[in-house]
Structures are given as structure tokens and as C-alpha cells.
Amino acid sequence: MVLRGLSSSWPLQAWILSLRFDPDLADFWESSMTLFASFTASEVDIPRIDLHLGAMFCTPRSKALRHAVEIFRKLALAVPLLGVLAGCSAGVPFGPEAEARRAAQERYAKAKALFEERCKTAGVVIRRTVTDVEGIELTKIRQPIPWGGREYFDPMYPEAALAVEYRGNDYINQFLMTESIDWRDPQERGTLNTPDFDAGSKYPLKRGYRFIEYLDPGKGSRFRAQLDSYPPGTNLWGKSPKLIAIASSATQYALDYEDIVNPEDRQLWVAGTVLKVVDKQTGEVIAQLTRYIWDSGFGATSTSRRPWEHAGSRRSQICPSIPGAAQDTSRKFVDAVLIPKQGD
């Protein structure tokens, strides 16, 4: 499509020439002259001037340029350019801005489709449960992440799918805590408190395990962890559990996890992990949680945003999402399979 007879549009010519004397618009002088040359040609190819229109009139960068845009639109009424400017008037970007937006939209759609596809394989599978379990083994301990640590910003961070989970001592402590269930919403998992916590009959309590076993790879020693060395009512978050060195394991069941690190998925900020409850005597996996999360911001860090932590706190970006579980997802998965012994 071409436009004819623009050389007679002297108001446009005068307006473009005026840009030369406006210091706020000096940066646009060169591209304006190119545009002017197109206007004075006998025939103008619309796609060839779209980039100029987009750069100059759809993304104004100063008050002076915004004013210039309005002048151009008024002057353009005299020539058949309204079709070209319709998108600009409606806020539709042209040129490089349009390409960038289209690329971002395509990436978002691709990532969303990938996340939804991965979610088809996510979920909890419980083959059998065990009651009156006093203790379990943790085959791995999630290590602490420093405040604002690079792990939150790394698309390839192995443990990204549970970046919000308790770590270090608190990763161990969560399995030893007592859970208080809100009687108003018994389907929602409750809050973890000290083992001796007593909220009265209004809040049903679910006791945690009596002890946790784990192998410290740094020391090469096996330990049993308990929380019975602190005075009643002590806030135990961040505290070191009581550790007892043991020669061999006394537990039959273990909680293990394997992180899913697929480079293609991670390019789109999709991460996964698999939690497994294993019968140590037979090697049978008696329950499994497969979980995926997606950071739809693709690692954006504006307003102190920490991508993996942000994604892990949004139910719409997690599958499956366990109601009431966030930092304690592992605890609230395993204790539905290996049911802790209640009472004395």
C-alpha cells in the first residue's frame, strides 16, 4: 500500500522542521528528517514509515515530545495517515517496541503451556500409609540460603521448587513440631508449634515425630535429633535440636527428594522436585509428591523481588498446592503417609 501526494502537505513539513530548534527533541532530528524525506516522496510505502511513527509518536519520552505528538495528529488530519496512526492512538506499539512485546507474549504463552503440561504429571501418590510412627530418617538436609542469596535468582538452582522451605536446623525441627489445626477450617493444614504446645480443646493438635535421624555428610556421623532439651514454651525456630550420635539407624522409613533440573524448562523458569517416602527394608516407594513451580516474571528482581521465593508463595504458580503448607511442605506431605504416634 502506498500514499500519494504528500509533498503538498506543507504543515507537516513545517512541523518537522521546527523540531530542529527544540532542544528537547534534538535526539529525534535525524529520524525526523528521514521521515520528512519519505513524506515528500511521490509514493510512500506504509510499512517503511511504521518504524518511524512507532519510535517518534507512540512512545513519547518527554513533555515536549508528547506535545509534538498532539500537533502531528492534528496536522495529519489533512492527509491520509489516520490508518497508520490508529494503532498509535489506541496505544498499540510499532517497530522495535512491538517486536519486544510480541516476543515477551510468545515467551509467556510458551512458559505457561509448559507449566500446565508439567502439572499434568504433578501431584501426590500414596500407595500405603503407616500409623504410630515415632521417628523417620531424612536422607538429605536442605541447607540454609543466605538472606538475598544468589540461589533465589539462579534459574538453574537445583532446589528452586522448594526454595521457600525451612532450611538448616529448622528443616529438621519442623518434623518434630506439634501442629495446631484451626477448628474453623479443618481441611487447611495448621501452624507448627513447640512439641509441648497446648492451645486448648478449641484447636485440635497433631503431634510430630519423637525423633529424626540423619547422616551428617560433613562429619560422616549419624545423629538422632530431638527437641526435649529446652524449657517448655521456648520458641524453637532457629534453635539447634538436641543431637545424639548413633551407630546405626533404628528407623524403617525415610524421606528422600530428587530435584528436577531440566535446562529447557529452567530457561522458562519452570522447576520441579520429587519427594519420596521410602521403606528402607524393601526399597519400596510408598508415597511420592511431584511438584512444579513457575516464576511467571522470568527472574525479574524489581522491588526487591526474589524470583524463586516469590513463585513459591503463589498458589497459582505451584502444582500441587497443599492448603496451609508453604515452608513446611515436606513435613505436611510425609506426616500424611507416616502418621506420627500421638499421646505418650
Higher pLDDT, 60 or 21: 21
Nearest CA to 340 out of 256, 251, 248 is that of 251
**Whole-number pLDDT of residue 208:** 92
Residue 161 has pLDDT above 80, yes or no: yes
pLDDT tens per residue across span 289-324: 999 999 988 998 877 888 998 888 888 899 998 777
Nearest CA to 41 out of 1, 80, 7, 70 is that of 7
Q: Rounded to the nearest 10 degrees, how much is the dihedral formed by the CA atoms of 130, 135, 137, 143?
A: 120
CA distance 131 to 21: 84
Higher pLDDT, 223 or 303: 223
What average pLDDT is seen over the chain? Answer: 77
**Whole-number pLDDT of residue 149:** 85
pLDDT tens per residue across span 105-153: 889 999 999 999 999 999 999 999 999 999 999 999 999 888 878 989 9
Q: Rounded to the nearest 10 degrees, how much is the dihedral formed by the CA atoms of 156, 275, 329, 343?
A: -160
The DSSP-derived string for 6-56 is GGG-HHHHHHHHHGGG-GGGGGGHHHHHHHHHHHHSSEEEHHHHHHHHIII
Q: How far is CA 175 from CA 22, 25, 112, 123, 313, in A?
A: 69, 65, 34, 21, 21
Q: Which residues pair with 256 in a beta bridge?
A: 276
**Whole-number pLDDT of residue 37:** 52
CA distance 173 to 308: 23
With 0-12 CB in 10 A as exposed, 13-18 as middle and 19+ as buried, what is 106? exposed
Q: What percent of the chain has pLDDT over 70?
A: 69
Q: Which residue has the cell 513459591?
A: 312
pLDDT tens per residue across span 43-84: 444 444 444 444 444 444 455 555 555 555 555 444 334 343
